[in-house]
Amino acid sequence: MTIFELVKHLERQAKPKQHVTIRQLPAHPATFGTLTPPLPEALLDALERSGTERLYIHQTQAIEAVRRGEHVGLFTPAASGKTLCYNLPI
């Protein structure tokens, strides 16, 4: 089943009062952020060793929100770095 067939299947399965919106968003270049204050040097070294040179903007925004004591919910595609958003502040 292709993704398009799956989408059509989900649309057909929607209940009468259920609203289903499916959008395909165009790709766009990655945007990166900077943490203030920066992460401790040990964490920066560990990230670099794992192949992460910079944090995406959604990661820096989430980490800064956690630092302020705010609740954070992340809804991003797979492999977008959500795990770092809650592991790095810890």
Q: Give the pLDDT confidence score for residue 72 in this predicted structure.
A: 92
DSSP reduced 3-state for 56: strand
Q: Give the pLDDT confidence score for residue 12 in this predicted structure.
A: 80
Per residue of the chain (90 residues), give pLDDT as tens.
777 788 788 778 777 666 667 777 788 899 999 999 999 999 999 999 999 999 999 999 999 999 999 999 888 888 889 999 989 998
Up-side HSE of residue 49: CA atoms within 13 Å toward CB?
6
Q: Give the pLDDT confidence score for residue 17 in this predicted structure.
A: 66
Q: Give the pLDDT confidence score for residue 1 in this predicted structure.
A: 78
What one-character-per-residue DSSP string does 2-50 give? Answer: -HHHHHHHHHHH--TT-------PPP----EE--SSPPPHHHHHHHHHT
How far is the C-alpha of 64 from the C-alpha of 62, rounded, in Å? Answer: 5
Q: Give the pLDDT confidence score for residue 40 in this predicted structure.
A: 95
